């Protein structure tokens, strides 16, 4: 995967602050990163996923499912990019207790890319009436391979160490892939179907942000955010 370091594109504008949970009067409300991931060059063609080996999978789709390794949105932006603070934070951040959910639906992982904190629950569901196995092979955490043969099954896992990224696959359906970014703080996001992402509540300071994509690699930017302010950041990946 290619790695590149870009100069940050940052514009500070005023925003209305909302007091964060646990903050007291007079403490900072934090800043916000509002960003977009752009794509240059010819968008890669999305090809039909061959699901004929399992008719249950095939029947879940009125139209053939398309490959999801690289999805360029209609506005020329890139979907499923994991963006997080890589360097610059101090202190500790208790993990969220609300589980992050990955569902196996139509024999695809939904969503394909997610983030969560160290020790935050990850709930993995099987919404399909067919066997799936959830095979995760992290390098900094304990691997697992869990069978889910029954529709409606749920499995909960946690990760004890930061790791970007943890890959998931299903050996029964080899086209199934998902990626989980595990970080020690809550300051991360995934670009959506407009290429946008938002990270809020960030303490004032200068940080290194990293953007990760499963095909196009990583990019990093240094970004300064002030308390009660918003900074706009643009990443740009290329097919070339």
Q: In the beta sheet, which residues pair with residue 183?
A: 117
How much is the pLDDT for 9?
Answer: 41
pLDDT tens for the chain, residues 1 to 240 = 444 444 344 433 333 333 333 333 334 579 999 999 999 999 999 999 999 999 999 999 999 999 999 999 999 999 999 999 999 999 999 999 999 999 999 999 999 999 999 999 999 999 999 999 999 999 999 999 999 999 999 999 999 999 999 999 999 999 999 999 999 999 999 999 999 999 999 999 999 999 999 999 999 999 999 999 999 999 999 987
From 113, 104, 112, select the one nearest 154 (Cα to Cα). Answer: 104
How much is the pLDDT for 3?
Answer: 46
How much is the pLDDT for 11?
Answer: 36
Q: In the beta sheet, which residues pair with residue 105?
A: 108
Tell me the C-alpha distance between 97 and 186, whole Å: 12
How much is the pLDDT for 80?
Answer: 98
Half-sphere exposure of 189 (CA within 13 A, CB side): 19
Report whether 38 contacts 236 (CB < 8 A).
yes
Report whether 46 contacts 170 (CB < 8 A).
no
The pair of structure tokens assigned to 230 is 């918003």
How much is the pLDDT for 29?
Answer: 74
Statement: the pTM of the whole predicted model exceeds 0.85: yes
How much is the pLDDT for 28?
Answer: 58
How much is the pLDDT for 239?
Answer: 87
What size, in residues, is the chain?
Answer: 240
**What is the SS3 assignment for 177?**
strand
């Amino acid at each position: 995967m290619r790695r590149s370091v870009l100069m940050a594109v940052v514009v500070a504008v005023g925003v209305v602050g909302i007091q964060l949970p646990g903050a007291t009067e007079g403490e900072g409300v934090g800043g916000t990163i509002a960003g977009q991931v752009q794509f240059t060059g010819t968008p890669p063609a999305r090809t039909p996923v061959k699901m004929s080996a399992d008719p249950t999978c095939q029947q879940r789709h009125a139209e053939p499912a398309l490959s999801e390794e690289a999805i360029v949105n209609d506005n020329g932006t890139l979907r499923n990019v994991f963006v997080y603070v890589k360097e610059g934070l101090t202190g500790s951040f208790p993990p969220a207790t609300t589980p992050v959910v990955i569902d196996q639906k139509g024999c695809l992982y939904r969503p394909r890319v997610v983030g969560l904190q160290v020790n935050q629950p990850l709930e993995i569901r099987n919404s399909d009436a067919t066997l799936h196995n959830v095979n995760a092979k992290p390098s900094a955490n304990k691997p697992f391979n869990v069978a889910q043969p029954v529709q409606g099954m749920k499995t909960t896992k946690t990760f004890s160490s930061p790791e970007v990224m943890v890959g998931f696959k299903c050996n029964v359906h080899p086209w199934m892939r998902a990626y989980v970014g595990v970080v020690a703080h809550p300051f991360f996001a995934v670009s959506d179907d407009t290429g946008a992402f938002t990270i809020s509540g960030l303490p004032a300071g200068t940080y290194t942000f990293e953007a990760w994509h499963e095909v196009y690699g990583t990019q990093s930017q240094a970004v300064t955010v002030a308390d009660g302010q918003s900074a706009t950041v643009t990443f740009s990946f290329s097919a070339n």
